[in-house]
Amino acid sequence: MDNMLRSAVLSVAGNRAVRSFFRKYGMRLGVARFVASEQLEAALDVVLRLNRQGLMVTLDYLGESVTDRALAEEAADQAVLTLRRIAERKLNANVSVKLTQLGLTIDPAFCESMMSRILDEAARTGNFVRIDMEDSSVVQATVDLFEKLLKRYGPKRVGLVLQAYLYRTQADRERLGSQGVNVRIVKGAYKEPKEVAFPRKKDVDANYVRLVEAHLAQGCYTAVATHDEAIIKQTIHYARKKGISPERFEFQMLYGIAGELQLRLVRDGYRVRVYTPFGEAWYPYFTRRIAERPANLWFVLKGMFRA
């Protein structure tokens, strides 16, 4: 049922009329709950506010599925600028990127050169860049390019996201775990066929826990990215039982979601990082947030009546 609802929301969101309506009125209709700002400097002000509350941040310049080299170059420039401004403002933040925003589907070699620009800046400023994982049509290409970059820049500079809903992820995690990769584990946010992904939420959740525990057991830094309190409790319990220090992992949550839980974990001494998107291309990101929890549509409807 959960998955059916999620698929339905993602299908409606693809409709041209719905898309253009939201592009026009979205920021007023509640998108601002999930997106820090359309501009970098204002987003950095949000980072400062979060840092003051004890939260770390990963900044994401919104955009994906780019088919134009100039747009991919612009996205790479934004990521470089973001890293530079984080260092200049001495913020506790790193950067997340999507390879399809950096030209992966145009030409992987071109995308690699965009990533090199970004990772050179990360090396210069002593920071870290995480590659988000997108839909299953680009997972193999993303993993391939990540492994190439890993050889050049090492696990302190670049990390990857793995999705618990994919059958292939156990094997990917094992291979990356043996290379000491810093992995963010998520459930997975795209509409996927049952040939590649567990259709039942119960199986996704069970796989999620297995992946987190295996990555921690292997001694790798692990980003546990979920708002699922049962999984968060289970992770804390596992770490305590195995004597794994809270320095060896972090919880990650999305900007605008479960704020109270984020602060509670900080008070309890855990590292918490908030995934904070900014930029004008927020539509696909926003629709995935609605699809995860269709109750979020209430925010949109309330915004409509206020507008």
- Write out the residues near ligand FDA by the rule CB under 6 A: 132-133, 161, 163, 186-190, 225-228, 252-254, 257, 275, 289, 292-293, 296
Q: Within a 10 A sphere around the Cβ of 140, how many other Cβ atoms?
A: 11
- Catalytic site residue 132? yes
Catalytic residue among 6, 60, 85, 132: 132
Considering the complex, state which of residue 207 and residue 296 has its C-beta at the smaller distance from ligand FDA. 296
Residue 132 C-beta: closest distance to ligand FDA, Å:
3
Considering the complex, state which of residue 104 and residue 186 has its C-beta at the smaller distance from ligand FDA. 186
Considering the complex, state which of residue 37 and residue 96 has its C-beta at the smaller distance from ligand FDA. 96
The 3 state secondary structure assigned to 147-188 is HHHHHHHCCCCEEEEEECCECCHHHHHHHHHCCCCCEEEECC
Residue 257 C-beta: closest distance to ligand FDA, Å:
5
Cβ-count burial 8-26 (b if 16+ within 10 Å, e if not): ebbeebeeeeebeebeeeb
Whole-number Å distance between alpha carbons of 275 and 256: 9
3-state helix, strand, coil split of the chain in percent (to 5) is 60, 15, 30
Residue 289 C-beta: closest distance to ligand FDA, Å:
4
Residue 275 C-beta: closest distance to ligand FDA, Å:
4
Whole-number Å distance between alpha carbons of 89 and 92: 9
Q: Which two tokens stand for residue 101?
A: 């925003």
Q: Give the rounded distance of the alpha carbon of 14 from its chain centre.
A: 21
Considering the complex, state which of residue 220 and residue 274 has its C-beta at the smaller distance from ligand FDA. 274
Whole-number Å distance between alpha carbons of 27 and 36: 11
Determine which helix (DSSP H) or strand (DSSP E) holds 253, and give its type and residue range: strand 249-254
- Catalytic site residue 85? no
CA distances from 109 to 103, 115, 116, 144, 240 (A): 9, 10, 11, 11, 43
Residue at 251: amino acid letter: F
Considering the complex, state which of residue 253 and residue 265 has its C-beta at the smaller distance from ligand FDA. 253
Residue 282 C-beta: closest distance to ligand FDA, Å:
14
Residue 28 C-beta: closest distance to ligand FDA, Å:
19
Q: Within a 10 A sphere around the Cβ of 296, how many other Cβ atoms?
A: 18
DSSP string, 20-46: HHHHHHGGGGTGGGT--BSSHHHHHHH
Considering the complex, state which of residue 17 and residue 131 has its C-beta at the smaller distance from ligand FDA. 131
Q: Known catalytic residues?
A: 132, 184
